[in-house]
Each structure stands twice: as structure tokens, then as C-alpha cells.
Amino acid sequence: MGESHVIVHMPIQWFGINLSITNFVVMLWVAAVLTFLFLAGAAWSLRLTGEGRFPNLVEALLDFVRENVSEAFMGHHGAKWFPFVACVFFFILFGNLLGLVPVPGYFHAATSNLNVTATMAVLVFLIVQVVAIKVHGLKYYWGLLFPKSAPAWLRFTLMPFIEVIGIFARPFSLAIRLFANMTAGHQIILVLLTGELVGVTWMMHQGIVWKFLWPAPLVGVIAMDGFEIFVAFIQAFIFALLTALYLGEALEESH
Amino acid sequence: MDTNTVTQAAQIVSTAALAKLGAGLAVGLGTLGSGVGIGVIFGKSIESAARQPEALPLVQRLMFTGFALVEAQALYALLITFILLAAK
């Protein structure tokens, strides 16, 4: 696994909570600034001249998010919640993509840190709970923990435990899915490169076939890099999709 | 001689070695279910796209959604592997 790549710039301790400025914090700021520049820059450029290639790109991505995430999963509430879902999508997208920039030792995907993904997951969880209470009141939990669709002998005995686990499994799975996807690709590339470093001298001393096989792990690294770009987009899409799904579930029926 | 098999095993090999063995088992068994899931998802998507080519955009969108959700299951096992590899 190797040692940690956290570089502390400015140690800050606040009542025992470690709030130091590390390189991951700087990566978060860069991701936030990039999101703002990407979206607001497109709107500004669209206001100056009514067309352009960059606003076109941003509009294509926003349409993709609106059509496939907001409207598919939230129905008619999609218009009101679309800015939030789009912000989640673009922030996580830039957080993922920054890990692909090859500045050694400093640049990491902000979302390859479990703290960052756990914060996003807890944020989504709290927003869903607050929205559900605002829409349905506290009897939302009654309907959730003792669902009417369960048979009567299960409804008050076993279902509450299963539903509580289900409620808390969602933020866990959101956080771990994003974190593990980002870390796994990075780890595979590291393993391939380390193996190449160690094995290339051995390969050069073998027969004629081995002497030509040494670029093989590097081809694997290039393939994994391409796959990581794909995974970055997919994971941002999935996080936004699940956010919209949970929000849509909390908002549905009697609003 | 105590009857706990794990303690007996830890007297022969170290706990770090047992942890690495567990790490290998974890990721190996974890990717089994995910592999079956991905195969089913993509197989059904290809089949439904072949039956009704007009449904391809919808099927593609659902396919990528399903793929990411199933892949996450294998990565939960990989997370346990990372935790186990760091044991001493």
C-alpha cells in the first residue's frame, strides 16, 4: 500500500479536530474553483456572445445530467433540484479527474480520500432526511420503519431493523463506492509501474523473447489510465444519480 | 493446548501472514459475484438491444448504471483487502 501521500502545508488544530491544510485540501479547492469556472464561465461566455464552442460543451453535459439524472429519477421535482444535482455531478467529476494529472507526489484525486467521499455522502444523507421531514413530517419515519407493504407479523418485529440498516447503508455505500473506485485504479497503475521498475532489469537478462516484452506493463498502464478516465465520469454520474434517486424517494407521494 | 484454531494457526504462522492470506481470499471471492453480475447485465443489455435497436440509448444508460453499481460490490471486498494488507 505504501506510505501516505498527504503533504501538510499548514497544521491547524481546532479543539482536537485536525483541520490542517494538506495537499488534499488544496485539491478540493482546485476542484471547486474549476467547477465554478467551468459552469459560470460558460454562462458568462454565453451572455457575451450567444453561441460558442465552450458553452456548447457545458450545455451538452448539463443536458445529459438533466435528462438522465434529474428528470429520470425525480419527475416534476427535477427542475427545482437540478442545480444541486448538477453541482454534485461536476464537483465530483473534477475531483475525480484531477487525480489523472501527472504531477508526482502532489496531485491526487480529491475523492480518493475516504474523508472527502464520506463528507459528500453524509451531506447527501442529511439533505435527504431534512427534505423528507419537511415534506412528510416526522411520520415519514413511521412509514419507513414500519412499512405497510410488509406482512403484519414482520411489520413491527423484524422490518425496523432491516430498514434502519438500509437507511444507513446508503451513505456508507455512496462513500465507499466512490473512494474505492478512485483508489483501486490508482493502485493498479502503481503496482504495474513498480513491477515494471523491478522486473525490467530481470527481463533484459533473459532470452530474446523477454527482451522485447518489457513494454508490456507500460501498455497496461496506458490502458488503465484510459479506463480511469471512463471510471471518473461513470462514478460522478452514479453519485449524482443516487443522490437524485434518494431525493426523489424522499419527495414522492403527497407533495 | 487451547482449542481455538485461529490461535493455533497464529502460533505457527504470524498474524500478518494470516492477514495477507485473508486479503487474497477476500478479493478473490469478492470479484466472483461481481463478475457474474457484470456478465448478466451486459448480456441482457446486448440481447435487448439486438431485439429492439430503437431502445439502445435507454438500454445503454441503464447498462452503465448497473455496471457501476455492481462493480462497487467487488470494490467493497477490495477495501477489506487494503485494510487487511496493512495489518502487522
Domain with residue B80: its CATH number is 1.20.20.10
Residue pair A81/A70 in contact (Cβ under 8 Å)? The answer is yes
Question: Which of B31, B62, B67, B71 to mutate to probe the A interface, most A CBs <10 Å?
Answer: B71
Q: How far apart are CA B15 and CA B22, in angstroms?
A: 10
At A3 the pLDDT is: 62
> Across the interface, which of B61, B75, B82 has its CB nearest the CB of A68?
B61
Cβ within 8 Å of residue A20, ≥6 positions away: A8, A9, A10, A11, A12, A13
3-state secondary structure of A19: coil
User: Which is it for strands A13-14 and A8-10: parallel, antiparallel or unpaired?
Assistant: unpaired
Residue in chain B lying closest to A114 (CA): B79
At A179 the pLDDT is: 93
Enter the C-alpha cell of residue A150: 410488509
Count the Cβ atoms, other than its own, within 10 Å of residue B68: 19
Q: How far apart are CA A113 and CA A181, in angstroms?
A: 11
Domain span including residue B41? 5-85
State how far residue A191 is from chain B, nearest Cα, in angstroms.
13
Q: Which of these, A46, A86, A185, lies nearest to A78 by C-alpha position?
A: A86
Q: What angle do CA A170, A172, A173 make, to 5 degrees?
A: 65
Cβ within 8 Å of residue B65, ≥6 positions away: A237, A238, A241
- Could B61 and A241 be called an inter-chain contact, meaning their C-beta atoms sit closer than 8 Å? no
Chain B residues whose beta carbon lies within 8 Å of the beta carbon of residue A180: 72, 75-76, 78-79
Distances (CA, A) of A202 to A110, A198, A214: 36, 8, 10
Residue pair A180/B72 in contact (Cβ under 8 Å)? The answer is yes
Beta partners for residue B70, in sequence order: none
- A27 touching B, CB under 8 A? no
- A84 touching B, CB under 8 A? no
State how far residue B68 is from chain A, nearest Cα, in angstroms.
7
User: Which is it for strands A21-22 and A8-10: parallel, antiparallel or unpaired?
Assistant: antiparallel
Q: What angle do CA A221, A222, A225 make, to 5 degrees?
A: 85
Residue pair A181/B75 in contact (Cβ under 8 Å)? The answer is yes
Domain total of chain B: 1
The number of CA neighbours under 13 Å toward the Cβ of B22 is 18
Q: Which residues of B fall below an 8 Å CB-CB distance to A?
A: 61, 64-65, 67-69, 71-72, 75-76, 78-79, 82, 85-86
- A125 touching B, CB under 8 A? no
Residue in chain A lying closest to B57 (CA): A68
Chain A residues whose beta carbon lies within 8 Å of the beta carbon of residue B71: 181
**Maximum Cα–Cα distance for chain A, whole Å?**
74
State how far residue A122 is from chain B, nearest Cα, in angstroms.
18
Question: Which of A89, A117, A238 to mutate to probe the B interface, most B CBs <10 Å?
Answer: A238
Distances (CA, A) of A240 to A35, A133, B15: 15, 21, 41
Phi-psi region of A201 (alpha: psi -120 to 50; beta: other; left: phi over 0): alpha
Enter the C-alpha cell of residue A30: 482546485
> Across the interface, which of B65, B75, B86 has its CB nearest the CB of A181?
B75
Q: Is the ipTM of this complex over 0.90?
A: no
Q: What is the b/e burial string over A59-93, where b = at least 16 CB atoms within 10 angstroms of the residue's CB?
A: eebbeebbebbbbbbbeebbeebbebbbbbbbbbb
Residue at grid coordinates 507500460: A218
DSSP state of B14: -
Q: Amino acid letter at A110?
A: A
At A173 the pLDDT is: 92
Predicted confidence (pLDDT) at residue B1 exceeds the cutoff of 70: no
Per residue in B5-60, pLDDT (tens digit) is 877 777 778 888 889 999 999 999 999 999 999 999 999 999 999 999 999 988 98
- A238 touching B, CB under 8 A? yes
pLDDT < 50 regions, chain A: 255
Question: Which of B79, B81, B84, B88 to mutate to probe the A interface, most A CBs <10 Å?
Answer: B79
